[in-house]
Amino acid sequence: MSERLVSFETDGAIGIVTLRRPEKFNALDIPMLRALEAALDTAEAADGVRVVLLCGEGKGFCAGGDVEAWSQMSAADFQVQWVRYGHRVFDRLARLRQPTIAALSGHALGGGLELAAATDFRVAEAQVKLGLPETSIGVVPGWSGTQRAVRRFGAQTVRRMAIGGETFVAAEALALGIVDRVVDTGKAFIEAKAWAGKIAERGPLATEAAKLMIAVAEGEESAAATEALASGFIALTGDLKAGVDAFKAKQKPAFSRS
């Protein structure tokens, strides 16, 4: 993982993923996406981390995809290396086992809003603007701005941004359900961390299970989530132990439904 581009650190039960490309307002390119994916892998595997915060260094949260990074790609590379890979990374964030909170200390536009939409909660500072301006330069939202964003914010709200070209300030975004809390300038990380601390006090397994069940209802990852929940339940049973012990002993298992 590139510490220069994306960092991961812990503060007790809270994991903090920070985008570190402030000179570009944390715009995403392929190296940034790779570093973000690695940071998320580290966060999920970190013992004791119950909530993950996502934030950006400097004045911006994330300015979206770096136009200079994708504008010179061939159509094939744009489809596979940019859109499909970006989807994979954003799906990784959306499906993280821990609850996630985005601290929006700067604008979240285009891919930046799509990134924030992949978290469970969003805390925005009052000056922040949010939108999907891609069609203004002749492209379409490519990292689930017309899919996950519709599921989470509603089709009409996404139409207003992606087709109508509207950009919302934080207070408007709150009323539309795009963000969950609005705070004064400079307070997003503080508020997000305090919220994370309260979530971390709740039952960790129950919280993770609740997140998975909501993901199933939302259509985020129904197949994997259903199998994960069922497998977790089975792993606690005496039947599993009996089966594994019998397998190792090369005997027929005696299941007790316990």
Compute the half-sphere exposure of residue 140: CA atoms within 13 Å on the CB side of its CA. Answer: 9
Q: Considering only CA atoms, which of 162, 176, 207 is closest in space to residue 13?
A: 207
Give catalytic status of residue 114 as yes or no. Answer: yes
Give catalytic status of residue 3 as yes or no. Answer: no
What is the C-alpha to C-alpha distance for residues 103 and 218, in angstroms, rounded to an integer?
Answer: 23
Under 8 Å between Cβ of 132 and 113: yes
**How far from 73 is each of 17, 25, 68, 136, 163, CA to CA, in Å?**
28, 22, 10, 19, 25
- Active-site pick, 57, 114, 191, 220: 114
- Active-site pick, 37, 57, 125, 134: 134
Q: E strand or H helix at 256, and its extent?
A: none
Under 8 Å between Cβ of 110 and 88: no
| Beta-carbon contacts of residue 237 (< 8 Å; ≥ 6 apart) | 258
What is the DSSP track for 22-69?
A: GGGTT-B-HHHHHHHHHHHHHHHH-TT--EEEEEESTT-SB--B-HHH
Indicate the Cα dihedral angle 85, 80, 155, 219, nearest 10°: -60
Strand-pair partners of 101: 53, 121
Q: Which residues are catalytic?
A: 114, 134
